[in-house]
Every structure is written in structure tokens, then in C-alpha cells.
């Protein structure tokens, strides 16, 4: 490498791959990632979902460049400008970028949606992307991704706390799908329309008491199985939650399993069969949401009643962790705080959430990209929560001139 070339920030391993690329794109810092599954004897290098994410980044940015080694174990990425959906620069159908996900993908579509929603407020134009293909999984997955329903009801509303109007963000589920055999592929279709571009996110101050739970909402979904499974999941979840709250409403969604082409010419098969439940608890304190998400494993063998009870218990555990942010949305909120105006924002987080390996790695990554270290102090009450102070780096939207 020439000494006059860009100075790359260096990382190793495949963990937090999409998050590091997202922060690199936001900050404009080139990165070098090595030893990506280099010790794997069967599948070294980039996984199918990571290659698909790189193609997505290339479609929504202008001027990005990336070099991948022959074995796929090393990648250098030089970010470009976040362009969004601009005719002639990735938009392939009207004002929508079509992104096809291969059937070898084991990650849910929210693996792609979350980084896209972090980039979208800083894009030059609206961010309209349609995810389709045999690999789109809209349900929760065993690999740790939440369902589209949880993402839409528990994570997107939090963007309003940063001055990014959620009313101008829309997620359309055109075809639902659970994970296919072995957790691979789904055949769903999801469209994201993000029209809330801002000059700079507002400073967040969410360090008050989390308040008390006032309502519980949710979605039970089935694809390709009997619609009665929805009622069974809802009934089992209500048996657990009814003693705690009187205001509970869970919607039921039923879809046919999507038809996906097979290797044989002209033949198709049903894929993505399954069912699951998503629950979100809203607090009396504005902006405080807790979520839980459970789906039947691709191998089956679990009855709907077990899914309903498990999801209800997970929701109670999420509430019991305390703080003003759940484990599922903490990543997005802390990244937006770090990208905001050069002021100190504060967020109240439960000890069990801030102490996870994922958030510790996020703090280290942000510091590597030039952000300030987090300040931590105990809340002076019996909750045991932590106040996290984050100083914004003032990463603005270069594509927008108005405030």
C-alpha cells in the first residue's frame, strides 16, 4: 500500500461487520477488515448475507469502493456519499432500489433494514428500497434478528426522539415469510420508504424514570400454516400478561407461504412456512418501549402455546432489565447519539443491557472511529440503572443545506 494512500482503520473478524461498515459510511473513514472466518475449514471469508449487504451499500451510496481478497477473508472499504434513491444511481424501478437477497441468506431482513435506517437520515435524497428474492425472511431468526413487526413498532418510533419524524418512515410488508429449511431463505418481500432527512440529529436526553407500562401491543403472524395458530399464540400470551395490564391488543396476520422457483425449469415450491409472535410494551414515559420476539424454529416441533408463553415471558424479562431502552434498540440509539450535534446527550440504560458484549464492542468501535468515550454513572435510586453520557461528533448531512 502506498504511503500516500488513505489511512485505513483496521479491524479483525466477522463480528459486527455491518455495523462497522455503517459507521464507516457515516463518518467517511475508510476501513480494512481482515481474518474474516479465516480459521473456518468449510466456509472461510464473507458469508452470503455480508456480500449482499456490500451490494446494498454500493447501491445507496455514490463513489464507494471496496476490494475483497480472493479468499474473501480480507476487505478494504472506502465509503462514498450517501445518495439515497436517485434516478440513474441505483434506482431500477421508478423511485425504488430493488435489492435481491439470495436463498443462501440466514439473516432476517432487519439485518439490512437497521443499517439502512441509520444511513437514511443523512442521505441526499429519500431512501426507498425494496427487498425481494428467495432469501428475504420477515420473521425473527435464530441468528438474532428481530422481526419486521418489532422493528416497525419498537425501533422506528424512537427516531422521533432525534428530530427524525417517524410519520415519514414507512415499512410495507408485501409478502411475509419465516426462515426456510435449515434457516436459509424465505421468499418474502419488504419495502422501506424513508423520507425523513435531517441536517443533524437532535441531542437526546432520556435519563428520566422509565415510568410504568400502560399498554401492550403486538402482532401474531402465520405463513403457510393454519390461521388458528395465531389465536392460540395470542391466548397463551394473554394468560401470562393479563394480570399485569388490562390494555392488551395483539393483531393477527395470515399469509400464504411464498412461491419460490426451484432448480428445475419452471417449477416452484412453497418456502418460509412458520409462525411467530412480536410484543411491544409502551411505558407512560414518552419514548420508552420494550419488545420481545419469538418464532418457531425451522425444524418445527414447537406448539403455538409455547411460542406465546415464551414471548410473554421474554417481554417481562425485557421490562425487568430496566432503563429507558431495550436491548434490541440500544445500538441504534447510541449510534445516532454519537452522530448528533456536538453536545452531550444522556440515556438511561439497565445494567444488564449496557453490560452486554455487543454494547461494549460498540463503545470500542465508536472510539476507534473518532467518537468520544462514554461517561457512565449510577442512577441515584434503587433501580440499579446506568446513565450513559455520549458526546456527539457533529456528523452532518452534507446533502442538505437547511437545518
Same domain as 344, residue 253: no
Classify residue 281 as left (phi > 0), alpha (psi -120 to 50) or beta.
beta
pLDDT for 401 equals 46
pLDDT for 138 equals 94
pLDDT of 257 above 60: yes
Among the three residues 321, 354, 375, which one is the final residue of a domain in this structure? 321
Phi/psi at 305 (nearest 5 deg)? -60, -40
- Within 10 angstroms of residue 130's Cβ, the number of other Cβ atoms is 19
In a domain, 308, yes or no: yes
H helix or E strand, kind and range, residue 253 = strand 248-255
pLDDT of 248 above 90: yes
Kindly state the average pLDDT of the residues 204-228. 92
CATH number assigned to the domain comprising residue 53: 3.30.110
Rounded Cα–Cα distance for residues 278 and 313 (Å): 12
- Within 10 angstroms of residue 55's Cβ, the number of other Cβ atoms is 12
Same domain as 335, residue 286: no
Q: What confidence tens digit (pLDDT) does each residue in 376-390 have?
A: 999 888 888 999 999
Residues contacting residue 52 through CB under 8 Å, at least 6 positions apart: 99, 101, 102, 105, 112, 135
Question: Can you list the positions of beta strands (E) in 262-399?
Answer: 268-270, 274-283, 289-295, 344-349, 375-378, 386-391
Classify residue 11 as left (phi > 0), alpha (psi -120 to 50) or beta.
beta
Same domain as 268, residue 289: yes
Report DSSP letters for 159-220, one per residue: GGGGT--GGGEEEEEEE-----GGG-----EEEEEE----SSPPPPEE-S----EEEEEEEE
Kindly state the average pLDDT of the residues 178-197. 89
In a domain, 220, yes or no: yes
For the chain, the residue count is: 403
Same domain as 55, residue 15: yes
In a domain, 188, yes or no: no
Same domain as 310, residue 212: yes
Rounded Cα–Cα distance for residues 159 and 289 (Å): 12
Same domain as 350, residue 368: yes
Rounded Cα–Cα distance for residues 337 and 206 (Å): 11
pLDDT for 1 equals 41
121, 158, 196, 281, 340 from 153: Cα distances, Å:
18, 9, 17, 10, 23
Same domain as 339, residue 315: no
Same domain as 316, residue 331: no
H helix or E strand, kind and range, residue 9 = strand 9-12
Which of 341, 314, 326 has the alpha carbon at shortest distance from 157?
326
- Cell numbers for 91, please give them: 434506482
In a domain, 296, yes or no: yes
Among the three residues 42, 63, 82, which one is the final residue of a domain in this structure? 82
pLDDT for 399 equals 56
| Long-range interactions of 29-32: CB distance < 8 A, separation 24+ | 29/79, 29/369, 29/370, 30/6, 30/76, 30/77, 30/78, 30/79, 31/76, 31/77, 32/8, 32/74, 32/75, 32/76, 32/77
pLDDT of 301 above 60: yes
Q: What is the mean pLDDT of the chain?
A: 89
pLDDT of 174 above 80: yes
pLDDT of 172 above 70: yes
Q: What confidence tens digit (pLDDT) does each residue in 110-125 have?
A: 999 999 999 999 998 8
Rounded Cα–Cα distance for residues 97 and 100 (Å): 10
Q: Count of domains in the chain?
A: 3
In a domain, 88, yes or no: no
Q: What is the dihedral of CA 317, 320, 322, 326, to 10 degrees?
A: 20
Q: What confidence tens digit (pLDDT) does each residue in 58-98 have?
A: 999 988 999 999 989 999 999 999 988 864 444 445 588 99
CATH number assigned to the domain comprising residue 210: 3.30.360.20
Q: Are 159 and 146 in contact (CB under 8 A)?
A: no
Q: Are 218 and 251 in contact (CB under 8 A)?
A: yes
Rounded Cα–Cα distance for residues 40 and 95 (Å): 41
Same domain as 315, residue 221: yes
In a domain, 135, yes or no: no
Same domain as 346, residue 270: no
Full domain range(s) for residue 20: 7-82
In a domain, 64, yes or no: yes
In a domain, 287, yes or no: yes
Rounded Cα–Cα distance for residues 48 and 147 (Å): 20
Same domain as 317, residue 244: yes
Among the three residues 321, 350, 365, which one is the final residue of a domain in this structure? 321
Phi/psi at 110 (nearest 5 deg)? -70, -20
Residues contacting residue 50 through CB under 8 Å, at least 6 positions apart: 14, 17, 18
Q: What is the 3-state secondary structure (H, E, C) of 47-79?
A: CHHHHHHHHHHHHHEECCEEEECCCCCCEEEEC
Residues contacting residue 165 through CB under 8 Å, at least 6 positions apart: 159, 196
Same domain as 315, residue 213: yes
Amino acid at each position: 500500500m502506498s504511503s500516500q494512500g488513505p489511512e485505513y482503520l483496521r479491524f479483525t473478524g466477522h463480528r459486527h461487520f455491518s455495523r462497522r461498515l455503517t459507521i464507516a459510511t457515516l463518518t467517511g473513514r475508510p476501513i480494512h477488515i481482515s481474518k474474516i472466518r479465516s480459521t473456518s475449514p468449510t466456509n472461510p471469508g464473507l458469508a452470503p448475507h455480508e456480500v449482499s449487504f456490500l451490494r446494498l451499500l454500493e447501491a445507496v451510496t455514490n463513489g464507494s469502493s471496496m476490494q475483497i481478497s480472493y479468499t474473501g477473508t480480507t476487505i478494504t472499504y472506502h465509503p462514498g456519499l450517501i445518495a439515497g434513491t436517485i434516478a440513474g444511481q441505483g434506482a431500477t424501478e421508478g423511485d425504488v432500489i430493488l435489492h435481491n437477497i439470495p436463498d443462501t441468506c440466514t439473516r432476517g431482513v432487519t439485518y439490512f433494514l437497521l443499517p439502512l435506517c441509520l444511513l437514511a437520515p443523512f442521505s441526499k435524497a429519500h431512501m426507498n428500497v425494496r427487498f425481494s428474492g428467495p432469501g428475504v425472511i420477515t420473521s425473527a431468526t435464530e441468528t438474532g434478528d428481530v422481526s419486521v413487526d418489532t422493528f416497525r413498532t419498537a425501533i422506528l418510533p424512537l427516531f422521533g426522539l432525534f428530530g427524525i419524524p417517524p410519520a415519514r418512515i414507512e415499512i410495507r410488508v408485501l409478502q411475509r415469510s419465516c426462515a426456510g429449511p435449515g434457516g436459509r431463505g424465505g421468499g418474502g418481500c419488504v419495502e422501506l420508504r424513508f423520507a425523513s432527512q435531517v441536517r443533524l440529529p437532535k441531542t437526546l436526553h432520556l435519563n428520566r424514570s422509565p415510568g410504568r407500562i400502560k399498554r401492550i401491543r403486538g402482532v401474531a403472524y402465520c405463513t403457510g400454516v393454519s390461521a388458528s395458530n395465531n389465536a392460540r399464540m395470542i391466548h397463551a400470551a394473554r394468560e401470562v400478561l393479563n394480570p399485569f395490564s388490562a390494555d392488551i391488543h395483539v393483531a393477527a396476520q395470515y399469509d400464504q407461504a411464498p412461491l419460490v422457483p426451484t432448480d428445475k425449469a419452471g417449477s416452484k415450491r412453497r418456502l418460509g412456512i412458520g409462525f411467530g409472535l412480536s410484543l411491544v410494551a409502551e411505558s407512560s414515559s414518552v419514548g420508552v418501549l420494550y419488545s420481545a420476539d419469538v418464532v418457531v424454529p425451522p425444524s418445527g416441533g414447537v406448539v403455538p402455546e409455547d411460542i406465546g408463553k415464551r414471548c410473554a415471558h421474554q417481554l417481562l424479562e425485557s421490562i425487568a432489565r430496566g432503563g429507558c431502552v431495550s436491548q434490541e434498540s440500544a445500538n441504534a440509539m447510541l449510534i445516532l447519539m454519537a452522530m448528533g450535534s456536538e453536545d452531550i446527550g444522556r440515556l438511561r440504560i439497565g445494567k444488564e443491557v449496557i453490560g452486554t458484549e455487543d454494547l461494549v464492542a460498540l463503545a470500542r468501535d465508536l472510539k476507534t472511529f473518532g467518537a468520544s468515550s462514554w461517561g457512565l454513572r449510577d442512577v441515584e435510586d434503587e433501580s440499579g440503572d446506568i446513565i450513559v453520557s455520549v458526546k456527539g461528533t457533529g456528523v452532518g448531512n452534507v446533502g442538505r443545506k437547511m437545518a
